[in-house]
Structure 1
């Protein structure tokens, strides 16, 4: 409704009797960076971070370590939308004088690279701080007291490529009822299929809308769920740069759970010409387990489909074994076999052409069909 909610204190363990300030939160909402002079640091004000757990509670903050913090002061952290490039101000690292702006990148083991001074003319002998970078990674803004002006002014500049963050793009979605077109409040989940990690999990607004910022150049899986509905899944390669004004747009339809409805498992993958499930399938299959546990009165059929490559008999056998692989996963996760059926359809029901690679990709699929409601 365009109105701000009433602020509330984060409380312990984020806030203490010490000084805590200049917070910055990651794009996925799961990491909070801030500056504090609490005990346990390296002297002065240090940078700390906390991680949001699955229950929505902030963990005990962790010091960013001696590669970032010094006996001096480190303040005004800014974690970019790429989730790994950190900018901050320090008067403890070698610099031009006063507070200078620095950049560091998170390594794969969650340690940080040696901070890089952004150099002159961004930094000078005065205090330079409060650096904020646009999602594109090109434009930057900061506060500085220079040029003999009164107080601190805001300056902007084009960031040098050597200290730019990774490219990010915006994804905008709207969730609606597949039968009525009514907007739905639902939970959404984005998974980096390259790392098989959940990038973001949250809820839409009251109008069924969501807007997220994601690093470009990765293959993502998306899952949308709501009680009483079959979940929606898809996967896409996020390429190029989609600005907040021109985001990648998806309109998502959820179908109510009832006999006869079908659901495409877009993020279930198999090894080539095999029924062995890839590790990238785990998140999707776990969502299916959750759905079946929430709806114990339904019997489902897992259907396997192939493209037209190979003989009809080979494809029929392969599709049936793939469907069975999914059933076996469900049984291993305590779904009763009495609620599960499976069937291989081979190449008999294509949804795309069998000429292009994209068409064949669409035809290689796994579906769930609600076949019976237990009375």
Structure 2
């Protein structure tokens, strides 16, 4: 019997793992070993498959519902394969290219078109060509377009505003409807004979689980006031990553808060919870190795910058920081003492500067390499080809962990604290 992609069937256990394609990448025991072997002059993305799979399993096994990976965070096929291998079968896709990418890699995957403002005609193409039956709206015009093409199996989430001010990125001024509008849109979906749902996003890099609990209570009350039985409640993404300087509560506390809030909220018995993590699934599982190409008057030039993989370091108000480790394959190891360094990218643009300094060894030299950890989210996804420079070299690291992970993390994935060679 053919599976209906619009229907959510509760799972009692994660699906069996399948082989991914990260194994096809050139592999090294450590990033330092990769540098010694390749001496790369261009930036290199280093995948850590065990970390990607661990993150996916934590969500698949811990979240009380269905997990949709937000492809926009990192669309690299090898990354998608690792998440799929660990049990992710639903994908939050924001465009036709993302839908085509996921559908081409995984014919059994379910794509959800979760962009509130879609390019003209793309919802119909997703519906007719790719079989997408799950969408989101926050305005009557978007709903009008969907009602013109939808069938009774179409699931339409109405997105409400739900910003928690303790989150790093605010996502409710541009997206989300007021409660009055939400009630009207929900009733329109139900009256059309379609499957209504509610959605919200409390903001990216949310550090407090109670933000989700409060939003779930509001959503349940809103649906009740609208007189609509919702089929799904999408709690969005925003789950945190422990970047330096941030101290979020454990991920499991977020799952517990969501589970408890849903249990006491007046939700229909068959309402399915879904979430859309992006950063929390991929940030830890990838690092970035760059080279120091020039040190001039104290300014450190790297072969990557804000037009490449470091864009989010510019726009996050220093909330996103990639922890660095210097790799020096020849000569004495880097000094333990550090100094704050101003960082420039390689482009011919004076704006290609990080807005904060990074502590690096006092004896940092031209030709040194730096591995930045926690670089799996919104790094390669946001690169440009400005000046003809677009990083696109990938390797696999099999025997070490990237900078920024604690000893407990290393123990959990069976990796040593030591890395190969001087770093």
- Bin of the TM-score, shorter chain as denominator length: under 0.3
More strand by share: 1
More helix by share: 2
